[in-house]
Amino acid sequence: MSQQLAVVVGASGAFGTAITRRLLAGGLAVLAVGRDEARLEALALAHDGVVPCVADVADDRAVATVGAALAARQQPVRAVVHGPGVVVAGGILEAPTEAITRSVDIKVGGLLRMVRAADPHLGEGSRIIAIAGHYGLEPSPYAATAGIANAAVFAVVRQLSQALGDRGITAHTLAPGPADTPRLRRVAAARAARDGITVDEVLDQMRSDSSVGRFTTAEQVAWAVTTLLSPEATAMTGSTWMLDAGRRRGLP
């Protein structure tokens, strides 16, 4: 098989589905990696070119599982897109330490496991794309798990860019702001209950953090992923691309 392949972790989520559609439209096949077999099968039924692969990226066995799936197809891997979600478990003083370390293992350990699984199939022009989040740069009082895990992702991607650069492989981080997804609405509901206000009031507060008063969309994240596949994106290796609708206040 000569068609190139993208490995997408979290493909059945809001971001992952939009990314998968864009990659398919660009002519890539997609190995969709996740824990929920039913959701992966539904994605494969809805979109030609999707190959489901059930694996828990927080488990070392995922390296062999994903590696075997890639070996069976024998297609060059154009991109590894790592975008699993993590639990939002409160601020730094109340979030269980287990939730924090689990989040780091999913975000950082999972990324490293997927890179190692795909390594034999990576080559000149391949991309490693990690979806972190702006909480890694702008700490939130209610999302310590995401903030700590995403901050670690920035460092790991820089190291991957150095380790893989001599093979023509580049590594990139995307840092979206909050997106209006079912997951965000669950977070908003928890904050509303805590603060004694409505969910809509919480969402309005979140929007006000953006200089344009908007949430990031899944399609914007998908656009960024496919843009990073262009040859010109080589100049961005190791860097973080902010997709936060103007939420970051600090420099650089």
Q: What is the mean pLDDT of residues 212-234?
A: 96
* Local confidence band at 252 (pLDDT 50, 70, 90 cut-offs): low
Q: What is the mean pLDDT of residues 46-53?
A: 97
Least confident of 51-60, 82-91, 134-143: 134-143
pLDDT at residue 2, as a whole number:
55
- Predicted TM-score (pTM) of the model is 0.92
Place of tokens 């390594």: 119
Distances in Å between the alpha carbon of 27 and those of 32, 49, 78, 97, 150?
15, 9, 11, 42, 30
Find, among 22, 46, 17, 21, the residue nearest to 34 by Cα: 17
CA separation for the pair 170, 128 (Å, rounded): 6
